[in-house]
Amino acid sequence: MEDGLRIENMTEDDLDEVLAIERQSFNDPWPPEVFKAELRHCWSHCRVLRKDGAAVILGYLVYWSVADEVHLLNVAVDPKQRNHHYGRALLDYLRDFAVTQSARFITLEVRRSNQAAITLYEHAGFRPVGVRPRYYANNGEDAIVMLNDLGSTSNVGPLPGRDDDES
């Protein structure tokens, strides 16, 4: 983690700031009830990014940890705080968490049109592995499914390749 930054558990007290970032970041933002539900689920992890000594939230992420998979549901950085590598800091934190949990992979879905996010994810080690047609309800846009294969860092080894089925 970059010096001067800290990632903490999100609380309901953080929701006003988180929702403000959410609304500025997405054309179909999560409503407060979704964040509140994620805060209650035992498999869900909600984190906020702050600078040391500051209360303001720079960004956040929400992810699930189930069995040997970590699934990224939501990540955003305050638009006024972008281009400082805070998104990358959040993804590095997510990867470190996944490795400590012996996860085999991290998955996510991203709008096909969100090239900035796709580029960020690719630089963080994700690769496209599929498409979910008409995934987004607000406009029917496809989602690109991306995967970060952590198999080599877990106890179970790498994911099988497509050629493995043809033996």
Question: Is the four-CA dihedral 87, 90, 95, 98 of positive or negative sign?
Answer: negative
Long-range contacts of 157-164, Cβ-Cβ distance < 8 Å, separation of 24 or more? 159/104, 159/105
d(Cα 10, Cα 166) in Å, to the nearest integer? Answer: 46
**How far are the Cα atoms of 49, 69, 151, 165 from residue 156, in angstroms, in the given order?**
31, 12, 7, 18
Structural domains of the chain in order of their starting residue, each with its CATH number: 5-156 (3.40.630.30)
Cβ–Cβ under 8 Å, residues 59 and 77: yes
Of how many residues is the chain composed?
167
d(Cα 50, Cα 11) in Å, to the nearest integer? Answer: 13
Ranking 30-44, 88-102, 113-127, 147-161 by mean pLDDT, the lowest is: 147-161
d(Cα 133, Cα 142) in Å, to the nearest integer? Answer: 5
pTM: 0.87
d(Cα 74, Cα 109) in Å, to the nearest integer? Answer: 9
Is residue 55 pLDDT above 80, yes or no? yes
Residue 46, pLDDT score? 98
Tell me the pLDDT band of 163, cut-offs 50, 70 and 90: low
* Catalytic (active-site) positions: 109, 121
Q: Token pair for residue 123?
A: 């630089």
Residue 151, pLDDT score? 80
Average of per-residue pLDDT values in the chain: 90
Residue 161, pLDDT score? 63
d(Cα 42, Cα 139) in Å, to the nearest integer? Answer: 31
In this predicted model, what pLDDT tens digit does every residue of 120-155 receive, in sequence order? 999 999 999 999 999 998 899 999 999 999 985 555
Averaged pLDDT, 16-26:
97
Q: Residue 123's Cα: distance from chain center in Å?
A: 14
